[in-house]
Amino acid sequence: MPSAQLQQAIELLRNDNVVCVPTETVYGLAASMYSEKAIEKIYTIKGRPRSNPLIVHIGRIQDLQTLCSDLPAPLQRLAERFWPGPLTILVEKSDQVPLSITAGETRVGIRMPNHPLTLELLKALPFPLVAPSANPYNAISPTTAKHVEDYFGSAIPLILDGGPCEQGLESTVVGVENEQVVIYRQGMITAEQIESLVGPIVVKNEAGEKQVAPGMTAKHYAPRTPTILCEHPESYAMDAEGKAFLLFNKKYAVLPSEHQYLLSESGHLEEAAQRLYQCLHEIDRKGYRQIICQRLPDQGIGRAINDR
């Protein structure tokens, strides 16, 4: 029997409403895939353009069978290996998937999130959910229920609080072109992990590319504060006034200590990813003129963090 809060979420979603749900990556603004009214609410609340497709969330891997008309073997292997988890596969949609959520494209992004609360919700519903990140379009993604509340207040009828997101970066988005796996958006599942399973891949997540997946616009996941990504943050020592320094794992003596924010004192990229949006939210609230972000090692999850 679902909890009272989950039962409330089920009733809201059955009746053309939106609900904020936790995932292992970021909090999502969820609606029934079949409710045009609720989908319109997502686009309106977020201020999201209709050209930006939505990702479908499912609770069971077998749900794929009704949502796609073709499932390439490499994508099936990836789903079987990494689901539930932060991987979205882009597949040819079936007739059951409305064009309104794919921005008119024939492919749809599908994933199975790895959060017990949202998995329980998905398994209790007779329909899949679409769920982009629960933030205004192009703003920093939310990794706590409080972030969502600060963004939207009472505009969302229910926020399911599942605690801080464990991984903190959006899912990796992959598809197949010319029989080769393509990464359209970097995320917590790394290129190295994917290649180890399916062989050589192509990375194609440049902002100028045709937008086939969320997160491919030139300005995305952005703080309000102007931000620079650089190799050597210490080079700003003589011009540090009004600046926040977002650093990987060590502080610099030449920079003001109170304005330095570490992603991972232990130097772990997984922790850096989990803390990235949390730190950006904190810095944004403090009214700095500029954020100087240190470029992380360009490998594994480091690539996804730099991409953000």
The CATH number linked to 99 is: 3.90.870.10
**Burial (Cβ within 10 Å: 0-12, 13-18, ≥19) of residue 283:** buried
**Together in a domain, 183 and 231:** no
Q: pLDDT band at residue 302, thresholds of 50, 70 and 90?
A: confident
The verdict on residue 184 lying in a domain is yes
Q: Domain span at residue 170?
A: 4-203
* Alpha-carbon span 50 to 149, nearest angstrom: 24
238 and 190 within one domain = no
Confidence band of 290 (pLDDT split at 50, 70, 90):
very high
Strand pairing category for 107-111 and 87-93:
antiparallel
Domain match, 271 and 138 both: no
Q: Where a domain ends, among 171, 203, 235? A: 203
Sheet strands (E) in 112-242: 129-130, 172-177, 180-185, 202-203, 227-230
Same domain? For 194 and 135 the reply is yes
The answer to the question of residue 195 being in a domain is yes
Alpha-carbon span 26 to 137, nearest angstrom: 14
Question: What does the radius of gyration of the chain's CA atoms come to, in whole angstroms?
Answer: 19
Q: Which residue has the higher pLDDT, 120 or 209?
A: 120
Q: Which residue has the higher pLDDT, 211 or 98?
A: 98
- Same domain for 186 and 239, yes or no, is no
How many CB atoms within 10 Å of residue 58? Answer: 24
Same domain, 168 and 20: yes
81, 144: one domain: yes
> Is 218 a domain residue?
no
Nearest one of 99, 125, 137 to 9, comparing CA atoms: 125
- Let me know if residue 221 belongs to a domain: no
Residue type, 165: C
On whether residue 238 sits in a domain, the answer given is yes
Residue 58 to residue 208: CA distance in whole angstroms: 30
Angle CA 122–18–186, to nearest 5: 65
Residues 240 and 132 in one domain: no
In which band, very low, low, confident or very high, does the pLDDT at 35 lie, cut at 50, 70 and 90?
very high
pTM of the model: 0.91
Residue 135 Cα distances to 33, 46, 91, 171, angstroms: 19, 6, 26, 16
Phi/psi at 124 (5° precision): -90, -10
* 219, pLDDT greater than 60: no
Segment holding 125, helix H or strand E: none
Q: Output 43 or 218, whichever has higher pLDDT.
A: 43
Query: Of 169, 203, 237, which closes a domain?
Result: 203
pLDDT for the residue numbered 86:
98
18: confidence class by pLDDT, cuts 50, 70, 90: very high
Q: Is the dihedral of CA 233, 237, 238, 240 positive or negative?
A: positive
Token duo for residue 123: 């398994």
Residues 49 and 188 in one domain: yes
Number of domains the chain is built from? 2
Q: Are residues 186 and 272 in the same domain?
A: no
